[in-house]
Structure 1
């Protein structure tokens, strides 16, 4: 499935931290940032999550929910969230359902070996449930600021 800006974001229901289940359609009326990261508790993912954590009050002021997504199991996600004091939920997508809906599973190379994994990507969904922005092949430094600016601009325009 190809995602296009302005198109409705694919609906999903997934298990998340805090004993919650996230259903995207139930978040209508609020903007949603979905950031996909390769693996819990790794350096880049820890930095990225921390950058979103440190800007949560600004995201909330822009009526924006932040959710992290990876293929880690729920226990790994709970540990990651607790250890980093994340103030947003993390979705456990072990079967890659959400990852595939957003087309973030890509062929990657690590130490000369190829494997399928999550391409670090972020999606901003507007209050109507439509895809407003996407970032693929994300580099962590400055990324959360860029997403926040886009969320604030979208909210101000709404």
Structure 2
């Protein structure tokens, strides 16, 4: 199963930093950015998280919550968040339930070997819980700004699901 533009996202509950669980349904009334990254504390993931961190006030102004997701354990997520000063929650998805909901587990090649891993992807969910935008195969540079602009447009009623 995969999510599609304009359709409601099935509710999910996942373990997050700060020793609590996050449910999508509990965030209803706010826009939500769910961004998936391959591995905590790696260079690209650190840069991407920092770009979201540095724009959090603007996301807040657009009534948008940021959630980062990877398959790392909760301790790795807590360390990553603390070390980088991330001002949003990270979700530990060791069982890949959230990853599979958004269909981000893909066959990847590293040093000539194939393995299943997270394809860097981001999803913007509207305040009613429907998928408004998706970005797959993300390149980090400039991405957080592009997502912010989409979140602002959605919040102001200027983004139509495409």
Partners of 2:23 and 2:48 lie apart in 1 by 23
Measured in 2, the distance between the counterparts of 1:21 and 1:117 equals: 23
1:9: how far off?
Answer: 1.0
Deviation at 1:4, TM superposition (A): 1.2
Aligned residue number for residue 66 of structure 2: 66
Residue 116 of structure 1 aligns with which residue?
A: 116
TM score, norm. by length of structure 1: 0.99
Structure 2: how far apart are the matches of 1:92 and 1:2?
Answer: 20
**CA RMSD, 1 decimal:** 0.7
Cα deviation, 1:79-99, whole Å, max 9, x if unaligned, reads 000000000000000010000
CA distance in 2, matches of 1:115, 1:26: 34
Matches within 5 A, 1:1-150: 1-150=1-150
Count of equivalent residues: 158
State the 1:10 CA deviation: 2.1
Q: In 2, Cα distance between the equivalents of 1:118 and 1:23?
A: 21
1:2: how far off?
A: 2.5
Deviation beyond 2 Å, 4+ runs, structure 1: none
Gaps in structure 1 of 5+ consecutive residues: none
Hey, what's the Cα distance between the residues in 2 that align with 1:56 and 1:2?
28
User: Shift in Å at residue 11 of structure 1?
Assistant: 1.2
C-alpha deviation, 1:3, in angstroms: 1.7
User: Could you tell me how far apart the structure 1 residues matched to 2:77 and 2:98 are?
Assistant: 15
